[in-house]
Structure 1
Amino acid sequence: MACGKWAVGKGWLEVNPYEGLKPKKDNPKEIKPFTQEEIRAILAGFDEVAPHYSPFVRFLMATGVRTSEAIGLLWGHVDFQRSEIVIKESLPKDLTGNGYRRVRKETKTGNIRYLPMSLELQALLLFLRPAKVNPDSLVFTTPQGCVIDADNFRCRQWAKVLKAQSIPYRKPYTTRHTMASHAIEQGVPMTGVAYLLGHTDTSMVTKHYGHMVNRPTLPAIPIG
């Protein structure tokens, strides 16, 4: 519409052909984070059906990091002395390759963030830590010690566990929404949630989770 108006102003068009067209509405998809009960059911399901990936799923739930960030996490990024995890790299698929090769790169937003470890998360990583730590080794791998393929994990483990636990299917990325939603419900400010998610400001957080902040109650109406 603006382009047509500009062309009319320049004298290149007599009539704006886009005049009267309504801009497409932004229809954001409803976010359905996992409830506390669903989280427990998913973790119990992985403990039973795919125990090797249980720590990986617990990490995703607890931190809300992107799947590629969890896949690319190195032991050198886990600081037990400071009790924090450094998220500064990811290991996404190389879209220019055959679909299996992965390339190490910076995070999606290019930010470095430091996630404080809870006692539960620290215990989880201490349990996984090998006797001799190689800082360049991956924290999470397949049972064969290879890089986790996100698509294979989603199809072969994730979907199977959710079906077995009778939980409506949502993608593994929902663990990110889950962490953010529960953080807001537990009183973490928007700026803090934005930092944990790796955003430079609160705009994305406000767009997706703003409805959860200071949610009003209906007024008392005498309908009884």
Structure 2
Amino acid sequence: MRADKRPQPCDVTVYSDKGSLALRFPKRHNPLWEQLDGKSLNGKPKCLGIGKYGYKDNPEDWKRATQLAIALEVDLDHPEWEKLFDPTLAKYGLGGGKYAKLADVLQLPGAKQPEPEITVGEMWEAYLEWKKTVVEETTFRATYERKFSNIIYGKLWDKQARTYKGADNRPLSEFSLNDKQLNGELGKIKSHAKSLFFREIKRAFDFSKTKGLLRHEITTDPFVDLEEYATPHQTTQDKYSPKMVNGELKEWYEIQDEKELENDRRAFTKEERDTIIQAFYESESLTASECIAPLVQFYFLTGCRTSEAFALTWNDIDFERRVIRFSKSLGASTRKVKETKTGEIRLFYFKAKSSLEELLLAIKQKSIDSKLVFANSKGGGITASLLKNHWLYHTSKRILADGTTKTYYYPGIVRQLADEGKISGYLPQYHTRHTYITLAAHANKHDNNALLYIATSCGNSVDVILKHYLGVTENTQIIEA
């Protein structure tokens, strides 16, 4: 097969033969290669394959191979080449074969081992310092500082001990960016957020390269092949775009056999809503009946987001105009007040003698000196974990007389209702929002002005309500007008 030849910028040439790229060195370098290989070249030039990036049909591979050729020639022809040239070839991203082992047994006169590239951990820490300045603090803590960093540092959640523990494998943070074993370790990652993590770690490499944090200009992106491990991240636009079904273009809501669409924006029925609210008020737990029950009822009656109710103060409620002002939310991890998810201020109007007005007046009457509408027994804020404990479940550990530790499981109210068959199934607390919008939309589906009001007061759009909520189920019980 005839070799592929292209114009060369230096004496170390790049060529392809049988689909793979390789380097051919001028004969003046033969003495060095004969010493490294331990055998004579018999007057023939030294040829060296460049590994996984050497495919002749990829222009980027040709570009990289040319850069390698230039870098090798610059080092080998330099007056102090002994100090610059790396006999293990790791400096050039080629140190994965027999030459990598030479570091322990071979020292050329005056040879200096190249400084290793920065580690994944060093790259990630530098990226985090920048990332925390461009994303919301809650997102940074939950996603970058916790979820993604745990993958980097090999921290696994121990459900029994309720703490993080180190993984058995060597953490990614300890690998150098030019370590040939790094790619294989990335393939072992197990996480539901793996696709998003791979996208972010590649951005971290691009950031380090742009900021000049890499020690060697020739270091290539070790995360370039991550697509083979990751499921492509589907954006909201992709999710709801038209799709071809049996040769016919259909809108997403016309496709009835997609499991994801069947479960999208599920909601409780009106009866299930009332059952849940009643169960909270009748709970034997004072915290559930006195603090959590009014909050749960409020969620069902307004469709507000979880964090918006946590930040609601009495100054946000105007009883004369009968309006609630949603202008802020409370970060779940930071416990800091921030703007709403959409960054907009919404007004939610309620009628005189409505269930919502009666609820707010009852809370106001019992309220101790707290600025918060929904407070715990001491006047402080209710946390997301406290709400989840009473909605889903919580555990408690106790040390028994024999010194052993036993974990007790306490099902949450909604979880227990589902287990007992009193509601059709369990849904997370956020579905109180979907329930309100679904019931209100069905009750007013022929009134465009009402749909516009529902969308505006909930921070949504009429288009979303028409596509997502009015199509959830045809058997939804209509809420009272």
Q: Normalised by the size of structure 1, how large is the TM-score?
A: 0.73
Question: Paired residue for 2:295, among 39, 42, 56?
Answer: 56
Query: What is the SS of the residue equivalent to 2:282?
Result: helix
For 1:96-115, list aligned pairs within 5 A.
99=333, 101-115=334-348
* Deviation by residue 1:16-60 (Cα, 9 ceiling, x = unmatched): xxxxxx996734443321111111110111011121121111100
2:331–2:337: 8 Å Cα contact kept in structure 1? yes
- The residue that corresponds to 1:169 in the other structure is 426
Greater RCO (Cα-Cα under 8 Å, separation 6 or more)? 1
For structure 1, which segment, 22-31 or 158-167, has the greater mean C-alpha deviation from structure 2 after superposition?
22-31
Displacement after TM superposition at 1:206 (Å): 3.9
Query: What is the SS of the residue equivalent to 1:85?
Result: strand
For 1:40-79, list aligned pairs within 5 A.
40-49=274-283, 50-52=288-290, 53-79=292-318
Asked if residue 192 in structure 1 is aligned to residue 444 in structure 2, the reply is no
Displacement after TM superposition at 1:112 (Å): 1.1
For structure 1, which segment, 57-66 or 165-174, has the greater mean C-alpha deviation from structure 2 after superposition?
165-174
1:43–1:58: 8 Å Cα contact kept in structure 2? yes
- 1:205 corresponds to which letter in structure 2? I
* Deviation by residue 1:133-158 (Cα, 9 ceiling, x = unmatched): 97x8110012232211112311x211
- 1:161 corresponds to which letter in structure 2? I
Distance 1:36 1:179 in 2: 9
1:74–1:139: 8 Å Cα contact kept in structure 2? yes
The structure where strand makes up a greater share of residues is 2
* Deviation by residue 1:86-116 (Cα, 9 ceiling, x = unmatched): 11111122xxxxx3x4111111101111111
Distance 1:62 1:35 in 2: 13
Displacement after TM superposition at 1:198 (Å): 1.0
1:34–1:178: 8 Å Cα contact kept in structure 2? yes
- The residue that corresponds to 2:270 in the other structure is 36
Displacement after TM superposition at 1:204 (Å): 3.5
* Deviation by residue 1:144-173 (Cα, 9 ceiling, x = unmatched): 32211112311x211211133233221110
- 2:439 corresponds to which letter in structure 1? H
- The residue that corresponds to 1:205 in the other structure is 465
Distance 1:83 1:127 in 2: 15
For 1:108-147, list aligned pairs within 5 A.
108-118=341-351, 119-130=354-365, 137-147=371-381
For structure 1, which segment, 185-194 or 166-175, has the greater mean C-alpha deviation from structure 2 after superposition?
185-194
For 1:83-102, list aligned pairs within 5 A.
83-93=322-332, 99=333, 101-102=334-335
Asked if residue 81 in structure 1 is aligned to residue 342 in structure 2, the reply is no
Asked if residue 183 in structure 1 is aligned to residue 416 in structure 2, the reply is no
- 2:414 corresponds to which letter in structure 1? L
Question: Structure 1's 23 and 106: CA in aligned 2 closer, same or farther, altered over 3 A?
Answer: closer
Question: Structure 1's 23 and 142: CA in aligned 2 closer, same or farther, altered over 3 A?
Answer: closer
Larger Rg: 2
- The residue that corresponds to 2:55 in the other structure is none
Distance 1:196 1:60 in 2: 13
Query: What is the SS of the residue equivalent to 1:129?
Result: helix
Query: Alpha carbon RMSD of aligned pairs, Å?
Result: 3.0
Question: Structure 1's 23 and 175: CA in aligned 2 closer, same or farther, altered over 3 A?
Answer: closer
Distance 1:133 1:150 in 2: 21
- 1:208 corresponds to which letter in structure 2? H
Distance 1:55 1:132 in 2: 12
Question: Structure 1's 151 and 208: CA in aligned 2 closer, same or farther, altered over 3 A?
Answer: farther
- 1:42 corresponds to which letter in structure 2? I
Question: Structure 1's 186 and 148: CA in aligned 2 closer, same or farther, altered over 3 A?
Answer: same
